[in-house]
A and B are shown apart, each in its own frame.
Chain A
């Protein structure tokens, strides 16, 4: 690990001010992804601003019947919260599908959203990767791309976003609240947080440098059932090959794109009366493959109608 300086932020305003004042600074919350990447020298911040003890770990009801989840709430606490389990079960299911018990006890809501891809070429510093070393090329494009993106990829990058939690949050139409480096707050739809790779896969979100996520806000739960399904190489503690979150009429896919992928075409087709199979077929009309990841298209074709059916049964049962 390369040397860095460390400070613990006294409050959120101090954290963003420190980020604005210090070159190459990064926020540190749970650290489960950032410290791993720092050991591999994929990340090498000069300064760490520890935001892990900021009083942003609570969950609270909002006036309109939704729920505000503090950015420092651990994945375990969010998944175990009685309100989340009763009203947003898709979120609990998605969180417990990710990582291990030890990791979920440390990983935070904000950090989970900002975790980086598990693409093998991003991790292997002897290989080209435009995300890790812009301009070096994409090793995955013609390489071991079995788990690469099938939606929204570019010739510069075919990496996927690994979060399970974020997929459920997109299906639930969550909003992100942030504090900008100037100290002002803003909020925007979570599905607008992450970017597609385009020509600049190293820029993964629409946050400005030094902007701190302070909360994720869920609107009131949608009508209808909620389900998260994840397919992977082993039964537990493995990244997804494909996953789907269904929440009422909204559908989001995981492990298939550079961001949690809202299946807007499938949603529109379903709303217009198409069958689940037809609806996902409409979405997959925009899918592409790079050789080894073609099986993911069939995986999604089978996974999504099964999840829609399961959510539909729950919705009728409720």
Chain B
């Protein structure tokens, strides 16, 4: 089935079995292996990408559902010459050990900061009609869809806070 998805700014024409997930289209067909397959069931967040600027689990979406969409993967977040502030912060804060969850963590964190900028509430938001402050509790709650089995969570929190300051 023919579908065209703009990935990291470039229109990519694909001819796929409808069963192909967005994650498999990225990894197996476009050879963009930065997005990782952890659980393949939306539980770990390693496959997180941005679709039209919004973070989703690419393993729980069919590629054909994304005809015409703009997808950003870790490969499109920054370049080797010019890293994204979130990538710099993950390096500076040593926010990983094995690194397998990191592309998903970074894409998720970028999407999460956009959600905070739009004042979207979370479970930790006590005043639903006020302006959201990104406390540590808010940050941890909002990142709960990304698991790090090396348990680099304290450094991940520090990195995201640091990048949030840089990006503000």
Q: Is the interface of B mostly helix, strand, loop or mixed?
A: loop
Contact B145 A102 (CB under 8 A): yes
Contacts of A100 in B (CB 8 A): 42, 45, 144-146
Which of B60, B120, B122 is the one whose CB lies under 8 Å from A31? Answer: B60
Is A126 an interface residue, CB under 8 A from the partner? no
Closest to A4 in B: B18
- CB under 8 Å from chain A, chain B span 41-90: 41-42, 45, 48, 54-57, 60-62, 64-65, 67
Which of B19, B45, B129, B144 is the one whose CB lies under 8 Å from A86? Answer: B129
Task: Indicate with 1 or 0, residue by residue over A105-122, a CB within 8 angstroms of chain B CB atoms.
Answer: 110000000000000000
Residue in A52, A86, A235 with the greatest tally of chain B CB atoms within 10 Å:
A235
Residue in A4, A48, A100 with the greatest tally of chain B CB atoms within 10 Å:
A100
Is A36 an interface residue, CB under 8 A from the partner? yes
B-side interface size class: 35 or more
- CB under 8 Å from chain A, chain B span 17-34: 17-19, 21
Is B102 an interface residue, CB under 8 A from the partner? no
Contact A48 B18 (CB under 8 A): yes
Closest to B64 in A: A6
Is B11 an interface residue, CB under 8 A from the partner? no
Contact A237 B144 (CB under 8 A): yes
Contacts of B48 in A (CB 8 A): 102
Which of B54, B61, B112, B129 is the one whose CB lies under 8 Å from A35? Answer: B61
Contacts of B133 in A (CB 8 A): none
Which of A76, A89, A99, A103 is the one whose CB lies under 8 Å from B120? Answer: A76
Is B1 an interface residue, CB under 8 A from the partner? yes
Is A291 an interface residue, CB under 8 A from the partner? no
Contacts of B141 in A (CB 8 A): 235-236
Expressed in whole angstroms, the Cα–Cα distance for A73 and B153 within the complex equals: 32
Contact A50 B145 (CB under 8 A): no
Task: Indicate with 1 or 0, residue by residue over A76-87, a CB within 8 angstroms of chain B CB atoms.
Answer: 100110100110
Expressed in whole angstroms, the Cα–Cα distance for A76 and B54 within the complex equals: 10
Contacts of B55 in A (CB 8 A): 101-102, 105
Contact B42 A103 (CB under 8 A): yes
Is B40 an interface residue, CB under 8 A from the partner? yes
Closest to B68 in A: A53
Contact A236 B60 (CB under 8 A): no
Closest to A52 in B: B65
Report if A102-B108 is in contact (Cβ < 8 Å); known contacts: A6-B62, A79-B120, A237-B145. Answer: yes
Contact B122 A96 (CB under 8 A): yes
How many A residues have CB within 8 A of the partner chain?
36
Contact A31 B65 (CB under 8 A): yes
Is A92 an interface residue, CB under 8 A from the partner? yes
Contact B18 A106 (CB under 8 A): no
Is B93 an interface residue, CB under 8 A from the partner? no
Expressed in whole angstroms, the Cα–Cα distance for A293 and B19 within the complex equals: 38
Q: Smallest CB–CB gap between A213 and chain B, Å? A: 19
Contacts of B140 in A (CB 8 A): 236
Which of A3, A50, A92, A102 is the one whose CB lies under 8 Å from B42? Answer: A102
Q: Smallest CB–CB gap between A54 and chain B, Å? A: 13
Is B91 an interface residue, CB under 8 A from the partner? no
Expressed in whole angstroms, the Cα–Cα distance for A36 and B39 within the complex equals: 11
A–B Cβ pairs within 8 angstroms, 11 of them: A28-B62, A35-B60, A36-B41, A36-B60, A79-B121, A85-B121, A92-B121, A100-B45, A102-B56, A103-B57, A106-B56
Q: 9 tightest A-B contacts by CB?
A: A100-B145, A236-B144, A6-B18, A80-B120, A237-B144, A85-B128, A102-B145, A1-B19, A96-B123
| A residues at B contact (CB < 8 Å) | 1, 3-6, 8, 28, 31-32, 35-36, 39, 48, 50, 52, 76, 79-80, 82, 85-86, 89, 92-93, 96-97, 99-103, 105-106, 235-237
